[in-house]
Structures are given as structure tokens and as C-alpha cells.
Structure 1
Amino acid sequence: MQRRNFLRDLSCSALLLLANGGIKPLQAAGLLSAQAPDRFRFAITSDGHYGQPKTSYDDFYREICKAINAFHQRSPLQFTVANGDLFHDQPAFLEAAANALKPIATPLYVTKGNHDMVSDTRWKEVWKQDVNQAVELGDNILLLGTTSDEKGTYLSPNTDWFAEQFKKYSSAKNIFLFFHITPIKWTQHAVDATAFQKLLKEQKNVRAAFNGHDHQEDGVKMFGSIPFLFDGHFGGSWGVNYRGFRVVEILPDNSLLTYMMSPVEKMAELSIYNSL
């Protein structure tokens, strides 16, 4: 199997990504020692689709909040990202979706997806966050960007905005990217954002990128040395056969350990070794 196809097909197997670009499948059980309580750790979930007809969206939101909080009690999280499609098309559902995520006990950052069909101004009024925002957490920088507009158009991340942030944080240890729609045409629902791809190739400290949107994806795809990690979905009417969230842990050597919670059992554990 060719390397690219192998990565596209990867979902629930464990994987070791080496600094030289080599790929080694591993057994998830016993891969690394037990979680350290003081480790820098965060969660990502996406695609809640609050308000989608014929779905139990209130239940989905209660379950994801309960699961993230239970995890946070055992293994503290620095923050959670809700990575787009937080409501389903109708602007009237925006505030209800925001209120439904309020029980999450960690700091919460959000991105705007194609089903979040409101203006950028209205989004900021409710979430108190810009659609493109940078968050500084010590040596780790979060860059969260929109990939859609009020009409639900599929868009590239804002290349000019990201270029400014990459320049500003060129000396940061790690930059983590979050946007709803994948900017590389790996999947049917991605966009081929060639200018953004070119910009990414020039960066040395982008540690990982996270996207939702493709509910059937819960694995990793590599863009050069940058892993793009998917997290399935926690709501909506289709996708992987569980509703959960992804956890990422930074290890002492700056490698990444990441796995899916489904939502209460660990699965799809990956170890991404430091390539910086």
C-alpha cells in the first residue's frame, strides 16, 4: 500500500510518526505510561449540529459536556476546542448551542463551520470570540480560524491573517491550528486551499492541525511533517459509529500523544514524535 493511501485509511490503529518521516504501526495498549496529571493536555470536539431535525441534539450536547468534564476530573485539561458546526443552519439555534456548551468546565474556544450560518459580528456577540483568534498559553500558541461565511460557503482559512500570526509567533515552541474544514483535498468535503498550503510549507513550528467537518474521519493525515487530526463528531445524523472527542497530550520531549474518547473509552491512540 502506498504511504499516502495508508494514511488516508488510518483510523483506529496506533501509529508512530518518526522525525524522519517513517511510519510504524503500533499496538495501542501499553504504548506509553499512564497519564501524568500535570501534563499539558487539551480536548477537541466538533460537529454538534444543534437543531438538526430528527436528531437528539439536546442529548448529544449533555453527553459531550458530561464526558469532557468527567475526563477533566481524572486528567486535567488546559482547554477544550469546539471545532465548528455547533448549530445546524438556523441562526435561531446559535444561542441555544452556546448555552448547551456552558457546562464544560474548562476554558472553551470555538471555530465557525459551514453550518454555523450567521454573520461574523453575530458570532462574536454570542461567543465573545473573533472568528479568527490567537490564544497564547506559554510556549504554545493556538490559532483558530473560520472556514465559512454566513451563507455556508466552503472557504480556505484566511491566508493573510494566518501569515501575520505565523510571523508574530515565529519563535514560539508550538503552534496548533484549528479550523473546521480541511484545507487540503483529501476528502470529498475538503477545499483545495493552495495558497494556504504553500504558506504552511514555510512554517517550522506548526506542531499539528485539527479539523472537523468530515464526520466519518477520526484519524490522521500528514501534510509534510504536519499531522492533520480529525475527531469524528459529537452530534449530527451521520459519521463514525460513536460520538466523542479527541485528546492531545504534550509529552516531556515535545512529542504528542493523541487518542479519541468514544466518549468514555480511550481508542485510536497515536504517538507523534517531535520533528522540530
Structure 2
Amino acid sequence: MTAAHKFSVSRHVLWLCLALVAIVPCDDASQAGPAAAEAPADVHFYFVQITDTHFGTPDTAKRTAKAVEMINALPMKIKCVLHTGDITSNKLEHEPTVAASLAAFKRIKAPLHILPGNHDIVVRNRIATLAIYKRKYGKLLIEAHYDGVAFIGVYTEPLAADFPLESFDPLKRLAAALKRAGSRPAIVFHHTPSVDDFYRNRMHAGWDSTLRAKWTKLLNAHNVKAVIAGHFHRDEHHWLGRVPLYVSSSIAGMWGRQASFRIYEYRNGKLSYRTQYIE
């Protein structure tokens, strides 16, 4: 066989191999190709945040009742309602106040997920108020799922005020919950924001810097789309690394605040909101 003939045969073999490669994909391509080509499912829903109702202060019952009425009448379907703490105003040991709050929340038609704030489980009396909270309202860690999105609520006042709470470590509990959520998008909610607090024309220190750094690192190590908080009685927006922090204004009328709640719209990993004021 001449060298030219050998070259001609080799060339035909080469073209045949290339054709087979084009027709028959390798295993990796067959697994990755179709999935990469498919558009993600359109995940779109609404949920509501209320915060700092402070039952036991003037007009709170009336303000909360109006907010509940407005939430129930919203034209969009609400997946859930989050209450980000300070249910009462240091009144957890006052049974009529607790009963009034529970009666108001019972009227909410959507599923309600509620957490305590610094005026619910009171540091100086945390054993007694913790027991009441668990008995009347529920757990310190909440895990719920809506349309593939994990909602994780965690009681973080031991981090905000830097005090120990026996058998409950917020960072460890949140880490475990995020691990259970896996790769699913997550929304984390709690009471006191980890950032500094600006009021009376000066900055007030927030969480201990070491605890704040651990919190931020943990959030950014997972698929957390947003953190939602209350406590400030103001609308604020911050960034915890790549994770946005949304702080909502309150139901309670302290400092002359107009009562409000917030409607969040989740669409494919992004969150927007509208603040609604009580008429």
C-alpha cells in the first residue's frame, strides 16, 4: 500500500470517527447537556411580614386587627405570614395580653410562622419567659417550605445581646437547618438585625463583631436569598456579604410610627417588597 493510499484511508477513518462523536454523545454530555439547556421553573409567590406588635401597649390590638383584615383581603395568594418578634412588650407573663395576641393571630388565614423578640423572652427573666413562649407560641427554630424555597426562622437574641441560652445555640441550629435545606434557596428570618443601629443622630453598636462575622459567613456559605428582620421599627436595607437584609417597620405605634406590614414578592431567587400602611 502506497503512502498516499494510507493517508487517504486514515483520512476517511478520521472523518468517520468525528461523525460518530457528533452523533453519539459521551456520558457527561448526555447528563449535563439537556439539563443546562432547560430553563429553570418559574417560581413566583407572595408572603407577608409583620413585626413588633408589642401587645400590651396602647392601640396595638386595634392596629393588629386592622393589619390582619388587610392581609386577609389581599388580592394575591399569600403563602405565609412571618412575625419577626416582639409579640408583646415585656408582657409574656401577663395572661390577658398573651390571650389577646393569640386571638388576633388566629384570624390570619395564611399559615403563620412566629418568633420571639427581646421583649418576649426577657434576658433578666429568660427561664420563665422562655417556658411561657414555648407553651403558648411554639419553637425557637422554624423550618417550612413553599414551592421549593426553605423558610428558616431562628431566635437570635442570644447573639444580639450576647447571653447564653441553655440547650439552644442559634448559630448551630441555623447551620443544621441550612444543611437540611441543601441546595434549595432559603429565606432566613429573625428579630434583631446583626447590623449597627442608627438613631438619635448617632450609631449604636449592634451584635458583637465576632458573632456577626460568624453569622454572615454562615449565611454566605449557603443558598440564602435574603434575611428578614424587625426590631428597628424602621424600613432599612443592608448587605451581609452577598445576602440582602430587609428590615421592616412595625405594627406598634412607638415614637409616633404609622402601623405597617410588608408584602414580599419572590420570583426565581429574587425578592422585592411593598410596605403597606394601616389606614
Normalised by the size of structure 2, how large is the TM-score?
Answer: 0.70
Whether 1:141 and 2:177 are equivalent positions in the alignment is no
Question: Aligned-pair distance for 1:263?
Answer: 3.5
Deviation of the 1:170 alpha carbon: 2.6
Cα distance change on mapping 1:145 and 1:58 into 2, 3 Å: same
On the 8 A contact 1:120/1:130 being kept in 2, the answer is no
- Structure 1: where are the runs of 5+ without partners? 1-37, 265-276
Q: CA deviation at 1:193?
A: 5.5
Whether the 8 Å contact between 1:82 and 1:108 is mirrored in structure 2 is: yes
Indicate conservation of the 8 Å contact 1:166/1:203, yes or no. no
In the alignment, structure 1 residue 178 sits paired with structure 2 residue 183: no
Question: Does 2:250 align with 1:250?
Answer: no
Which residue of the partner structure matches residue 32 of structure 1? none
Asked whether 1:154 is paired with 2:161, we answer yes
| TM superposition shift of 1:45 | 1.0
Give the secondary-structure state (helix, strand or coil) at the position aligned to 1:190: coil
> What does residue 277 of structure 2 align with?
262
Q: CA deviation at 1:81?
A: 0.7
Pick the structure with more helix per residue: 2
Change (3 A) 1:231 1:189: farther
Indicate if the aligned counterparts of 2:216 and 2:241 stay in contact, CA closer than 8 A: no
Contact kept in structure 1, 2:61 and 2:100, CA below 8 Å: no
Alignment partners' CA distance in 2, 1:261 and 1:183: 24
8 A Cα contact 2:226 2:271, kept in partner: no
Deviation sequence 1:184-233 (CA, Å, 0-9, x none): 33543732353353343242311000111001x21311112111101110
SS in 1 for 2:157: coil
Q: Give 1:255 deviation, angstroms.
A: 2.2
- Change in Cα spacing, 1:259 to 1:190, as seen in structure 2 (3 Å) is farther
Contact 2:253 2:259 in 1 (8 A): no
Q: Classify the secondary structure of the residue corresponding to 1:99.
A: helix
Residue by residue, what CA displacement relative to the aligned partner does 1:73-119 show, whole Å, maximum 9, x if unpaired?
x1110000111011111221223212122111111010100111353
Aligned-partner Cα distance in 1 for 2:108–2:162: 29
Q: Name the CA shift for 1:247/1:179 in 2 (closer, same or farther; >3 Å).
A: same
- Measure how far apart 1:69 and its partner are: 1.2
Write out aligned runs for 1:38-187 (5 A). 39-52=44-57, 55-71=58-74, 74-90=75-91, 91-92=93-94, 93-117=97-121, 119-127=129-137, 129-148=138-157, 154-155=161-162, 158-172=170-184, 174-187=185-198
Higher Rg of the two aligned structures: 2
Q: Distance in 2 between matches of 1:206 and 1:70?
A: 30
Query: Is the 2:264–2:274 Cα contact (8 Å) retained in structure 1?
Result: yes
Which residue is 2:250 aligned to? 233
1:83 touches 1:211 (CA, 8 Å); kept in 2?
yes
Q: Counterparts of 2:103 and 2:132 in 1: how far apart (Å)?
A: 15
Percent identity over paired residues: 22
Question: How many residues end up aligned between the 2 structures?
Answer: 215
Distance 1:103 1:155, change over 3 A: farther
Q: Which has the higher contact order (CA 8 A, sep 6+)?
A: 1
- TM-score (norm: length of structure 1): 0.71
Return the offset for 1:257. 2.1
Q: Distance in 1 between matches of 2:197 and 2:274?
A: 21
Aligned-residue RMSD, C-alpha: 2.3
Which residue in the other structure is 2:39 paired with? none
Matched, 1:204 2:222: yes
User: Deviation digits for residues 226-254 of structure 1, max 9, x if unmatched?
Assistant: 11101110114226x42111111112x43
Note the C-alpha offset of 1:155.
4.7
